[in-house]
Amino acid sequence: MEGAEHDDVETFEAQRPALTGLAYRMLGDLGRAEDVVQEAWLRWNGRIVSVDEPRGYLVQVVTRLCLNELTSARARREESRGDRLPEPVDLEASGLDQAEMLDRISMAFLVLLQRLTPLERAVLLLHDVFDLQHAEIARMLDRSEAACRQLLSRAREHVQHERRVFETSAEQHRELLTAFVRAFREGATEDLLALLKDDATLIIDAGPGGRRVGRIRSVGKPVRGARRIAALLSAVVREGRMTGPYVERVLNGQPSFIRIRDGRAVTVVSVTVADGKIHSVFVQVDPRRLGHLGPLQ
């Protein structure tokens, strides 16, 4: 019996990074993802039937738990927010599977996932990230293969419509991000305009209730257009509320800057790049979604 229990633990732990990655992508929140994976462990440990394919069984359990979570009133309220951003994570510290393609864990990809329905999100991840066939996905979701194909087609169409091909080197990405943070901290409007694409988008996530930065309210929705973004960020800096040390870290597989206060993360800034300029800016200032980044210096 003890040997069987040991095997169960080893089998589950071997799948934990991938399961956590699936739940994190589905929910956009590492803490909730870890709770889902823990619930999956309880179900795995308490099962009364043998399982021939542990990976498929556990992926199904985690997917269904995530779908249940996304139907809750709290999740629906959060998902409906135009300024909601996924929780930024340090892949190495979080225990997520780092062997995956980075464009499947980047902040830009996660933002796109949030725009899909929960079922579209699940089918896209199971098929395109976990390489499952339509027959397997249909069994997991209790849907027909035809329905799953339609969900995947809609999801891909939406993602491709929203997503451009961002092909840039890690070095150029970092250079543009560094220049952007420098211009932002200095309130250099013209420098910001030179770095941003004309149709750039800014999302600031201040949490469900939002909060003020001096006399400036959290906008509550994406800000579109380079001039509007530069004007807003310059106004925020003039309020003197974004001062303090910034440190560079790799989050979601890409360089980001973290503003620190009293050794804790209070702001995370990341960007996407297209055609040699910044296409999207993501600013996370919701303290509930930064605590896991831990003490910083």
Q: Same domain, yes or no, for 77 and 209?
A: no
Q: Same domain, yes or no, for 16 and 143?
A: yes
Q: Same domain, yes or no, for 144 and 182?
A: no
Report how far residue 37's alpha carbon sits from residue 161's, in angstroms, rounded to the nearest whole number: 32
Q: Does residue 218 have a pLDDT over 90?
A: no
Residue 297 belongs to what H/E stretch?
none
State the amino acid at position 250 in one-letter form.
Answer: V
pTM of the predicted structure, to 2 decimals: 0.88
pLDDT at 146: 96
Contact of 273 with 172, CB cutoff 8 Å: yes
Q: How far is CA 178 from the centre of its chain?
A: 21
pLDDT at 221: 82
Domain harbouring 237, CATH code: 3.10.450.50
State the amino acid at position 58 in one-letter form.
Answer: L
Report how far residue 257's alpha carbon sits from residue 246's, in angstroms, rounded to the nearest whole number: 6
User: pLDDT averaged over the chain?
Assistant: 85
Q: Does residue 136 have a pLDDT over 90?
A: yes
3-state secondary structure of 163: coil
Residue 3: pLDDT band by 50, 70, 90 thresholds? Answer: very low
Q: Does residue 292 have a pLDDT over 60?
A: yes
| CB neighbour class for 24 (10 Å; exposed up to 12, middle 13-18, buried from 19) | buried
14: its two tokens: 């071997």
* pLDDT (tens digit per residue) in 19-43: 999 999 999 999 999 999 999 999 9
Kindly give, in sequence order, each residue whose CB lies less than 8 Å from that of residue 141, ignoring residues fewer than 6 positions away: 63, 64, 67, 119, 122, 123, 148
* pLDDT (tens digit per residue) in 146-177: 999 999 999 998 887 666 555 677 889 999 99
Q: Does residue 2 have a pLDDT over 60?
A: no
Q: Same domain, yes or no, for 193 and 287?
A: yes
Kindly give, in sequence order, each residue whose CB lies less than 8 Å from that of residue 169, ignoring residues fewer than 6 positions away: none
Of residues 108 and 39, the one with the higher pLDDT is 39
Q: How many other β-carbons are positioned within 10 Å of the β-carbon of residue 179?
A: 16
Residue 241: pLDDT band by 50, 70, 90 thresholds? Answer: low
φ, ψ of residue 259 to 5 degrees: the values are -85, 135
Report how far residue 57's alpha carbon sits from residue 281's, in angstroms, rounded to the nearest whole number: 38
φ, ψ of residue 207 to 5 degrees: the values are 100, 170
| Number of domains the chain is built from | 2
107: its two tokens: 């902040």
Domain harbouring 78, CATH code: 1.20.140
Q: Which of 119, 145, 162 is the last residue of a domain?
A: 162
Tell me which residue range forms the domain holding 251: 170-293
Residue 1: pLDDT band by 50, 70, 90 thresholds? Answer: very low
